[in-house]
Structure 1
Amino acid sequence: MDAERDEAVREFESHRQRLFSLAYRMLGSAAEAEDAVQDAYLRWHGAEPGQVVAPGPWLNKVLTNLCLNRLTSARARREEYPGTWLPEPVASGALGPMERAEQREAVSFAVLTLMERLSPPERAAVVLRDAFGYSHREVAGVLDCTEAAARQLHHRGRKRLADGAPRPGTVDAEQNAALLGRFLQAASDGALEQLEQLLAAQVVVWSDGGGKVRAALRPVHGRVNAARFLAGLFERFTDDVRFELAEANGAPALLGWEGEELTSVGLVDVGPDGVTDIRILRNPDKLAHYAHRHRALSQNG
């Protein structure tokens, strides 16, 4: 019996990263994704012998339905969220391979934020189809609907994403990282003119404090307003905060540390005329998972 249990654990662990990747894309929250994966494990552990013929598809279906249930309640909570709601950042390696630009874009803050426009079934259809290569028939099997209905869910979801598609940006991570370095220097120096030169005319800054730390409750629009807001933000925190260039969600990121505590994660989108979107995470509840993974990766070299 112990040998069977150990084998069951090993089998589940071989799927864990993929399951987390699926749950994170569905929920936009690393903490909720880990909870959903743990719930899937409990279902797996409680399955009758012989009930699971194909572990991978079985776990995907169980997890997807767990996420659908969570999304229903999460949508209500996010409607009452104080200020801007942003997805939770994840560290490199948490979502598996990120070699292609398409893989990085699929978990970008811009796309994950747009996913909030989709109904839970639409979101599931898009994630399963686009990120995991499911056919419409396989999506229908997961969602317990007809193939035609699955196709329609995917079509509607893709259309809603396209209607709010991020402004065209670069996909060169090295260029983005270099620009982020110049951005950090200009903001830290309070060099408004230099900072403005790095920003697109219609740049937007979002900040998410979750009502727990100071953050702008509304987006800041426009080059001049954004530059002043960012310079003021850095002026308040530079003396106490150590900044570090890192990676989150497959893109260059700016981390802010106060001692050993991670207090902010900032990500930027870059277009032909400069930085188009800046998203700053300050809600401590959304930084814990990233901080833990980042420290672990740093310690392992």
Structure 2
Amino acid sequence: MTTDEHAERFTLLRPLLFTIVYEMLGSATESDDVLQDSYLRWAEVDLATVRDTRSYLARLVTRQTLNTLRANARRREDYVGPWLPEPLLLDEHDPSADVVLAESVSMAMLVLLETLTPDERAVFVLREVFGFDYDEIAAAVGKSVPTVHQVAHRAREHVQARRRRFQPVDAAKTAQVTEQFMTAAATGDLAGLLCVLTPNVTWTADSGGKATAARRPVVGAHKVAAVLMDLFRTRRQLPGMRIRMANCNNAPAMVAHIGDHPEGVLLIEIVDGMITNFYAIRNPDKLVAMTVPRQISR
């Protein structure tokens, strides 16, 4: 077997492997590191011993990802303010037609997955999103099949008890609400802004202590509207700042730049035609990957 065949098989499955790792880690940059390390290990494998490349590589990247998750546990405990996943800039391919994939990379789901243990998260992602068999998952996480059944059941119950009803994205409605929001916020139209916010809308900002941001979530339409009005007022005072719209985690997002450097990302979560959550990522370490659109797959 040649090195070219190793590379060809890995490249073919890379969007799938990246999506698996990202959903377990919530970090695009760390996912790239895991895939790089996994490829080096894969390049040493005798392909004649590989019966199912997809299953083998999923097992390989899962093991590497679990090591990273466990190493990150202490760092998450010491994190300043709310911790949010890295925003995932998607390419022109829209995953919304695949409802399972769209939900699995949504910011709301990734935040919820943070409440699982590393093993629960790995088992849930591999089973519920990617449909791997229990014996394949058992090999990936290093546990018996009966134990994996128990972990899967526990993780599934935990997620179902805490997640909201998920609906396929209505692209036209999402665009309309986003435009209404942008117009109201940019012009200082408080009444117009309140019209698109749910009463219990939540603003969560992640700065890691490295940028100015609220250290606790802000809840309630009037309070969040005040945050937004202040944000757009500040933006008008920074003539070098430009904002573009993007698709992050299958949601509309505002990406603020000064020069070539992203300064922040604001993801807008829309449910039933109303904005329910804002996720503001200000930590510069989490904006590094925003220059590279990603392909996701399952």
Fold conserved between structures, TM > 0.5: yes
Change (3 A) 1:103 1:170: closer
SS at match of 2:183: helix
Cα distance in 2 for residues equivalent to 1:49 and 1:107:
31
Name the amino acid aligned to 1:277.
N
CA-to-aligned-CA distance 1:280-299 (integer Å, 9 cap, x gap): 111111112122338xxxxx
Is 1:292 paired with 2:292? yes
- How many pairs are equivalent? 292
The answer (yes or no) to whether the contact 2:23–2:110 under 8 Å persists in 1 is yes
Which residue does 1:34 correspond to in 2? 32
Name the amino acid aligned to 1:143.
V
Name the amino acid aligned to 2:52.
A
CA-to-aligned-CA distance 1:223-279 (integer Å, 9 cap, x gap): 111100111011112343222222111222222222222212111222347211111
CA-to-aligned-CA distance 1:35-69 (integer Å, 9 cap, x gap): 00011011112235644343322211111011111
Change (3 A) 1:95 1:53: farther
Which residue does 1:236 correspond to in 2? 234
Which residue does 2:64 correspond to in 1? 66
Cα distance in 2 for residues equivalent to 1:45 and 1:31:
21
Change (3 A) 1:83 1:188: same
Which residue does 1:173 correspond to in 2? 171
Which residue does 2:151 correspond to in 1? 153
The answer (yes or no) to whether the contact 2:96–2:168 under 8 Å persists in 1 is no
Which residue does 2:280 correspond to in 1? 280
Match among 124, 131, 142 for residue 122 of structure 2? 124
Cα distance in 1 for residues equivalent to 2:207 and 2:19:
25
Cα distance in 2 for residues equivalent to 1:95 and 1:72:
32
Which runs of 5 or more residues in structure 1 are unaligned? 295-301
Cα distance in 2 for residues equivalent to 1:11 and 1:169:
34
SS at match of 2:126: helix
Which sits farther off after the overlay, 242-251 or 197-206? Answer: 242-251
Cα distance in 2 for residues equivalent to 1:14 and 1:193:
50
Shift of 1:127: 0.7
Correspondences of 1:4-15 after superposition (within 5 Å)? 4-15=2-13
Cα distance in 1 for residues equivalent to 2:131 and 2:167:
25
Which residue does 1:203 correspond to in 2? 201
Name the amino acid aligned to 2:125.
V
Which sits farther off after the overlay, 203-212 or 256-265? Answer: 256-265
Change (3 A) 1:168 1:201: farther
Cα distance in 1 for residues equivalent to 2:54 and 2:61:
11
Which residue does 2:97 correspond to in 1? 99
Cα distance in 2 for residues equivalent to 1:94 and 1:76:
36
Cα distance in 1 for residues equivalent to 2:92 and 2:126:
18
Change (3 A) 1:114 1:95: farther
The answer (yes or no) to whether the contact 1:17–1:94 under 8 Å persists in 2 is no
Which sits farther off after the overlay, 190-199 or 81-90? Answer: 190-199
Cα distance in 1 for residues equivalent to 2:165 and 2:151:
24
Shift of 1:216: 0.8
Which runs of 5 or more residues in structure 2 are unaligned? none
The answer (yes or no) to whether the contact 1:126–1:154 under 8 Å persists in 2 is yes
Which residue does 1:297 correspond to in 2? none
Change (3 A) 1:151 1:230: same
Which residue does 1:269 correspond to in 2? 269
Change (3 A) 1:188 1:49: closer
The answer (yes or no) to whether the contact 2:251–2:269 under 8 Å persists in 1 is no
Which residue does 1:248 correspond to in 2? 248
SS at match of 1:142: helix
Cα distance in 1 for residues equivalent to 2:227 and 2:219:
10
- CA RMSD in angstroms comes to 2.2
Cα distance in 1 for residues equivalent to 2:128 and 2:135:
14
Shift of 1:97: 4.7
Instruction: Specify which structure has the bigger relative contact order, considering alpha-carbon pairs within 8 angstroms and separated by 6 or more residues.
Output: 2
